[in-house]
């Protein structure tokens, strides 16, 4: 079997707490992501996109169902599943190199090997010349480049991205989308990219997964058979964007 990541019939219920009743975030969600494939997940807000990503990352446990990567059951976070957060989550006390080397450092790789890795990924994300800047000295786009480099420095099999460009301005977002496609092209990791921006999903992904409103399940899967680089003005692009947008709008109406 060729498939790398198998999400099999996942459900997640957050138990009732003092102030909140129990909520079901995910219901019977299944998805397969192939080797090096770029998948975007879109859905109305509150549909459990982030929860799904956290379960795949091993930061949350599913109430039911399982996640397998290359046949191994996912039970805890691990470096083979890199994660990129919307708010960057960089270590403010580490410079760019220090952030990128965090993973290799945790695995006790020797210094020379670490700096070889960080050099490679710092330049892959186009951050040469900024190696010794601190996060506070970087713009949002640059911070996200560092976060991507840091995730890739662990040589993960799959990159999990939780609305990574959600806090960037429109211009920077466009630049980062192209940058991400370039990096993906060079590094060929599987990517699961969560966004609420349909246009972004159609621009980036080979397949777009639409989720139902909470509890989240797969509503539809749209293969995007457009060649890269894509044009946002292309007829095929626009019709796919509209189709997917309509599909999500239906879900929003139900809320």
Partner 1 sequence: MADLPQLFPTPVAVVVAFKDLLIAEGPAGLPWAGELIGNMLVSLWRVIVGFCLAAVTGVLLGVIAGWWPRARDLVEPVVEIIRPIPPLAWVPLAMLWFGLGFRPAVFLIWLGAFFPILSNTVLGMESTPKNLIEVSKTLGANSRQILFKVGIPSALPSIMAGLRIGLGIGWMCLVAAELTGSNTGLGYLIMYYYSTMEAAKMVAGMLTIGLVGVLAFIGLKKLEDRLVFWRELE
- Chain centroid to CA 21: 29
Q: Cβ 131 to partner 1, closest distance in Å?
A: 15
Decide whether 108 or 171 has the Cβ nearer to partner 1. 108
Nearer to partner 1, 89 or 238 (CB): 89
CB of 103 to partner 1, least distance (A): 4
Nearer to partner 1, 154 or 247 (CB): 154
For residues 43 and 82, which CB has a smaller minimum distance to partner 1 in the complex?
Answer: 82
Instruction: Give min distance, CB of 172 to partner 1, in A.
Output: 20
Minimum CB distance to partner 1, residue 137 (Å)? 5
CA–CA separation, 57 vs 235, rounded Å?
Answer: 36
CB of 5 to partner 1, least distance (A): 15
Tokens for 90?
């960089």
Q: Taking the complex as a whole, how short is the minimal distance between the CB of residue 105 and partner 1, in angstroms?
A: 8
- Cβ proximity to partner 1, 28 vs 58, nearer residue: 58
Q: How far is the CB of 89 from partner 1 (least distance, A)?
A: 4
Residue 85 or 203 having the CB closest to partner 1: 85
Q: Token pair 């639409």 is at which residue?
A: 210
Q: What is the sign of the dihedral through the CA atoms of 108, 158, 162 and 32?
A: negative
Binding stretches for partner 1 (CB under 8 A): 54, 57-59, 76-79, 81-83, 85, 87, 89, 91-93, 102-103, 105-107, 134-137, 150-151, 154, 160
SS (H, E, C) the chain: CCEEEEEEEEEEEECCCCCCCCEEEEEEEEEEEECCCEEEEECCCCCCHHHHHHHHHCCCCCCEEEEEECCEECCCCCCCEEEECCCCCCCCCCCHHHHHCHHHHHCCCCHHHHHHHHHHHHHHCCCCCCCCCCHHHCCHHHHHHHHHHHHHCCCCCEEEEECCCCCCCHHHHHHHHHHHHHHHHHHCCEEEEECCCHHHHHHHCCEEEEECCCCECEEEEEECCCCCCCCCCCHHHHHHHHHHHHHHHHHHHHC
Which of 238, 219, 226 lies closest to 38, judged by CA?
Answer: 226
Give 59 or 181: the residue with its C-beta nearer to partner 1: 59
């Amino acid at each position: 079997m060729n498939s790398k990541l198998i999400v099999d019939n996942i459900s997640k219920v957050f138990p009732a707490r003092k102030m909140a009743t129990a909520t079901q975030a995910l219901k019977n969600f299944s998805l397969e992501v192939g080797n090096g494939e770029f998948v975007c997940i879109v859905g109305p807000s509150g549909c459990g996109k982030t929860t799904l990503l956290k379960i795949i990352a091993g930061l949350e446990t599913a109430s039911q169902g399982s996640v397998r990567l290359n046949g191994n059951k996912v039970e805890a976070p691990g470096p083979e599943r890199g994660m990129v957060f919307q708010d960057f989550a960089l270590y403010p006390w580490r410079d760019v190199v220090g952030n990128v080397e965090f993973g290799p450092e945790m695995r006790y790789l020797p210094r020379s090997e670490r700096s070889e890795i960080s050099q490679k990924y710092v330049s892959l994300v186009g951050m040469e010349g900024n190696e010794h800047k601190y996060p506070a000295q970087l713009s949002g786009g640059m911070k996200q480049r560092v976060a991507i480099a840091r995730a890739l420095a662990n040589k993960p099999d799959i990159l999990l991205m939780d609305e990574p460009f959600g806090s960037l301005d429109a211009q920077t977002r466009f630049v980062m989308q192209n940058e991400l496609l370039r990096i993906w092209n060079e590094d060929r990791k599987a990517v699961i990219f969560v966004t609420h921006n349909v246009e972004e999903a159609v621009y980036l992904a080979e397949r777009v997964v639409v989720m139902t409103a909470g509890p989240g399940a797969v509503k539809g899967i749209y293969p995007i058979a457009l060649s890269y680089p894509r044009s946002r003005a292309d007829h095929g692009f626009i019709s796919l964007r509209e189709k997917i947008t309509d599909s999500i709008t239906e879900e929003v109406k139900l809320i």
